[in-house]
Structure 1
Amino acid sequence: MNIRLSVFRKLRTHQIAMAGMMATSLLLIGIPSTQAAESAAPKLAVNQEAINLLPDSVKAQKVLRIAMPTNEPPTQYYEPGTERMTGINPDIARLIGQALGMEVEIKVATFDTLIPGLAAGKYDMAVASMTPTATRMKVLDFVDYLLVGEDIVVPKGNPQAISHTTLCGKRVAVLTGGYQLTVEVPQFNKKCVADGKDEIKVSTFQETRQAIGALTSGRQDAVWADAPILDLAVKQIPEIEVGDAFNFEPVGVGMSKDSGLLKATAAAVAHVIKSPEYMAVLDKYGVKSSAITDARVNFAQ
């Protein structure tokens, strides 16, 4: 009896240790280990032209309520041990606020609630790697601020040889409310059906790390999401790799069409992307190749 108990305890200790290792590997994508995340965002001079274009109601509130998701490093996440949001999007949002002479209050929201929240006036704008689409532009205005591609992440070695051209019939994890789910999956499935193949078996997740957990546990064949997030994940989780990278297009600052903020935001973003502070932010997170030079307004992808 004592021998059996001893063996059980050893086995249980081993199981707990293995579970802890798996949890740690998943948590790694929540805390970039190589970034100086705690350092403050660069300071940008105000742009008086942009300030002059602000609606009086926004000037009076003195604070821009900027919405974005979290737990998606390096685009946005909490600095370790704090309640301060950092990452590409928070830092760029703060540069936009500085250009407009406004304080910035980051409002955390799930991606699928951003557009309803903007429409309801809960937020002034969203800086959330949101792709301007014709559908979204029915209710929002957009100003381009960053170039973002897409990755297909798969188990190490890519045993099924998965790419963006071979997704039919595969179990694919995407983010709730994201561009992949709302725009691309329906388009891909039409082609799958036209080619006589099974549609993509889609599962949705609120956060990329949840989707990666489903991949590493064998419940999904691939994860399909924004490249900066997945590029960091594959550096930190040895069991996965990028099977395909494609479709590099600008994402935009989004705001309600009746907010009156479009002209001021366009002027502010144009000021930001021409500044050395913009490049400093991108360099900080290792995404200098994501810089754009034209703050296009309402350019649908």
Structure 2
Amino acid sequence: MTTELLERNISTDDELVIIREFGVPKNLVFKALTEHEHIKKWSSPKKLAVTFSEGKLKVGEKYSYGMQSGEGPEFVMTGEYKEIDPPDRLVYTQSRLGAPGPETEISISLEDDEGKTTMVFHHIGFPSKEFRDGAVHGWNEAFEKLESHLASLSKDVLPVTREDNIESARNLLRFMEKKKFKEFSELFAENGKWVHPYHSGMFPAEYVGKKIISDRIKEAADRFGEVKFPIDEIFPFQDPNRVAVKHTGKLQLKDGSGVYENDYLAILSFDEHGKITEWIEYYNPIKSAKAFGLMDKIA
């Protein structure tokens, strides 16, 4: 893994910017920046080890982690999450527990470039140039540890789904919610497939062709009022042209008599142009069976 480092000293003494390039996708970098099992591997200068990391990754929630060298004193860093936009941006405050000094703020932006990631790290609020210079040294050592940790992960199981394919997976659900059928259709390859492993009289085993798929989605949407497909989790693959999306479906009946709700797992495959070649849609068959009485109202 190669790393490009640029330190830029802002005109004032209370902030720093560090830019690094990592040779892995940004979704993996974001995981390493936010998940406790990864934070414990890198988030300290070289002579210190992370003793613990805790806190819920949610805006408004507190986090903390400790650093220690041998039998020396433990330093505890703490703060609050201000902005979380995975895998693109993270903003949080930070201060040292029990130590004098102001609370500082850190913002991290990640940009993907053909499987590599450029990280822009911006830390503001230092009380002096000396304080800031110490932070530059500490963060650079920590990011060297992060680089090594990311390299070790890439040798094991490394999700490498292309970011544009992940975004297309999100758009698949967004366009159905907003009933943008033209945009929905353009996500698919000409002979793309929509496959139903649990096919029935309502849905055949598969639909083939972008126009046929879009027409069928529009026909189904006409039976409902508001529809929502909130995403629970996105699962990258080692194959850059596949991704899985776990989501919920909440479909309001037009007559206001109820809501059909189910759990879904969509597995999407893409061609080299980023078009969907196959959409396999699994759902909870037990919930579906229990809803037959409700579904009869729109048959």
Scaled by the length of structure 2, what TM-score is found? 0.24
TM-score normalised to structure 1 length: 0.24
Judging by fraction of residues, say which structure has more strand.
2
Bigger radius of gyration among the two? 2
Choose between structure 1 and 2 for higher RCO, CA contacts under 8 A separated by at least 6 residues.
1
